[in-house]
Amino acid sequence: MIHDLLERTTPERPPTLRFDGRVLYLVDDADLVRAQLAGRDLELTDHLRAGLRDQISTDEITPAYICYFHDETLGEFPYLGLSANDPRTGEPAFPVTRGSVKAGGFVCSVAGKRRGKGSSREQSPYAELMAGIRLVVGESIERIYNENCQNLGILTSTDFGIIDRVLAREDIPLEVFLKGKDPITRQIIEYGGLFEFNVARLQGNVELPPAKASADPDASAPPMTLAEKIFARHLVADAARGRVGVPWVTPGEAGFFRTDIRFSHEYVTPMAAIFFEEKVGADARVVDPDSILFFRDHLTFLEKAMTQERIEQGLLAVANELEVKQRTFAERQGIRLYGEQKGHVLGSEAICHSKILEDYAEPGMLIIGTDSHTPHAGAVGAIAFGVGTTAIFNSWITKDVRVRVPPTFKVVIHGKPRGNVTAKDYMLEILRHPYVRDGHAIGQIIEYAGPAVEALSVDERATMTNMAAEVGAFTGIVGADAKTVEFLVGERGMERSHAEALVQGMQSDPDAHYVKVIEIDASSVRPMVALPGDPGNGLFIDELADEPVRIDIAYAGSCTAGKKEDMDMYARVFRAARDQGLTVHPDVRCYIQCGSIEVREYCRAQGYLELFEAMGATFIEPGCGACINAGPGVTASPDEVSVSSQNRNFPGRSGPGQLYLASPYSVAASAVAGFVTDWTPGKPIQPVAHREPQPT
């Protein structure tokens, strides 16, 4: 039982560490990567450092199908999705093979900027750990990935000088890895991981820094951002006495914060459940199961997307075991599971982010989930952020989560937008801003404000908070207002007086401090597209090359673009196209996937299902699907081209082909036109000519 943890011994790391092994440089040269895996050691010259891969996502460290495994087997797979340039062909190549990193005897892995961006999957650092990696180095390291490393016991550093010390087999003081860390992070590193630290915390063997407001009760509260207000409400001020909340917090303060909702999905729950059973006990019970939610949403369409080769390798069976483990753990613990739809062959009840916003999130809440797009719920003025497996598992024991209050930067959008510009276009504009593109926003909170944001619906605001993950931000948030009240009343059936009370005070103070303010004129934004490889590769669609970018697939949906208002946009374009006598282009396979059964029933009531079918689009039941390479809409070869309204387009994200990102309007218009294009109300769509059949 959990109280048995109080009897355990919690040893700390030794004061000095030695790394006996090799260094692996993740460079943008496939031949150099292969050479290292074959046994060649490289020297870190300026030229080599300049060639390090930037922007390595967790999709590249552990592609989605690797995450079907949730034990030490992951050590066979790190970097299998790593894309590097083949110097002979100039084309992308994937030089890492199964087992090659583990066989290479590497203890340190080195990359460039924004290492570990993307999905919050803890399978990525766990795969590195199981392959022998004990230290990861990067010019900058993404927050969730960095925390996952710390929680598992992997050391991280942005100091490239450490590499020479590793190669020299020096005894390196542990203090080197503690510099600049807050007191809680220091102790997590010293104890070798979050669970070990939490055991010591429950035993009363660690020192937690007092909140500034508690240490100086006579100090007046400074102006606060909305995020800081919410963190202040949830800070565990005195765990022994159950006291939660302080008058104020400031950026940089570290502590444990009481959660309102904790959720996970089938990619993560099984690993967390195994950790729980192994470390706490098979008969132990989670704390407050009513505030925990599980989702079966990621892999319900997997059999439609998995190749026959992988099925024959047994990967489908491995993936299906994730569902079994999650379901049995939920039943034993009494946890609400949103699972597969009853009476349907495929499809889930809801994507986790869709359901959290539809039914659970409220202004002022603190929500954690095992997915980088957890900030979706920030659309109603909540703090919602992604965490890794170890953090969610520890929250089952303590109901809190470790946070160092991040600084906040604000994006103010003013002016009147064009009629075909959406929240997705705003996000693609933000993502190409140098402050974001160069990694300055990593780990910060992005607050969206200004008249153009205030004019957006909660659904559209959710597109922006959802894509805080692509910014590399800690989370995204929009202040609660009259639109929030209408959402809570109209969508939840909440009493208006209760909704208004929840919204009260859930805005930033006028004099709150921001580390950066970015201003965007909505009238200057035109429909945008992100070129393949990264959501930050944004262009105005009308800036594309004169030659049309022909597409094979149009995928409309995912948590980002499977909401009610997204469906309204697809339908608006399709109705206009139908009035022209057009349907989905004969060269295009078009898929529309909703985020929940509530959205599906909304589409039914609006007549959208019949419209989509008549236009030649395939409507798909709720689920994550093609967005994670696990459902209809994925590309099958590098030559195929897809345009999607999902949130990210990292290499391999939705198959081996070229993936463009665009708004719901643009995706629907592209499906009809047969090439990447935008849509303007009242302007006819001009389809590209039908491709001639290739001779056999």
Q: Is residue 211 part of a domain?
A: no
Return the number of other C-beta atoms located less than 10 Å from residue 600's C-beta: 23
| Per-residue model confidence (pLDDT) at position 68 | 83
With b meaning 16 or more CB within 10 Å and e meaning fewer, what string describes 95-133?
bbeeebbbebebbbbbbbbbbbbbbbbbbbbbbbbbbbb
Domain boundary among 347, 367, 402: 347
460 and 535 share one domain: no
| Per-residue model confidence (pLDDT) at position 240 | 66
Name the residue among 112, 131, 132 with its Cα closest to residue 21: 132
Indicate the DSSP class of residue 18: -
pTM: 0.86
Indicate the DSSP class of residue 675: B
Give percent above pLDDT 70 in the chain.
Answer: 97
Residue linked to tokens 């490289």: 42
- Write the DSSP string, 565-599: HHHHHHHHHHHHHHHTT--S-TT-EEEEE-SBHHH
How far is Cα 532 from Cα 547, in angstroms, rounded to an integer?
17
Judge whether 268 and 58 are in contact, CB under 8 Å. no
Q: Would you say residue 460 has pLDDT above 90?
A: yes
pLDDT digits 0-9 by tens, 360-388: 999 999 999 999 899 999 999 999 999 98
Q: Is residue 210 part of a domain?
A: no
Q: Would you say residue 3 has pLDDT above 70?
A: no
Domain with 375 in it: what CATH number?
Answer: 3.30.499.10
How far is Cα 464 from Cα 470, in angstroms, rounded to an integer?
10
Which comes out higher in pLDDT, residue 653 or 448? 448
| Per-residue model confidence (pLDDT) at position 1 | 46
Model confidence at 4, in pLDDT bands (50, 70, 90)?
Answer: low
516 and 542 share one domain: no
Task: Report how many domains make up the chain.
Answer: 4
Cβ-based neighbours of 190, under 8 Å, separated by 6 or more: 12, 13, 174, 178, 197
Find the radius of gyration of the CA atoms of the chain.
25
pLDDT digits 0-9 by tens, 655-670: 999 999 999 999 999 9
Q: Would you say residue 631 has pLDDT above 90?
A: no
| Per-residue model confidence (pLDDT) at position 5 | 61
361 and 506 share one domain: yes
How far is Cα 464 from Cα 487, in angstroms, rounded to an integer?
17
Give percent above pLDDT 90 in the chain.
Answer: 75
Q: Would you say residue 455 has pLDDT above 90?
A: yes
Mean pLDDT of the chain: 93
Q: Would you say residue 476 has pLDDT above 50?
A: yes
540 and 515 share one domain: no
455 and 589 share one domain: no
Domain with 30 in it: what CATH number?
Answer: 3.20.19
pLDDT digits 0-9 by tens, 484-517: 999 999 999 999 999 999 999 999 999 999 999 9
- 599 lies in which domain range? 528-673
Model confidence at 223, in pLDDT bands (50, 70, 90)?
Answer: very high
- The whole-number average pLDDT for the span 597-617 is 97
639 and 562 share one domain: yes
377 and 433 share one domain: yes
- The crossing angle, in degrees rounded to 10, of helices 194-202 and 183-191 is 110
How far is Cα 253 from Cα 52, in angstroms, rounded to an integer?
33
**Mode of pairing for the β-strands spanning 236-238 and 243-244:** antiparallel
Residue linked to tokens 């900030």: 375
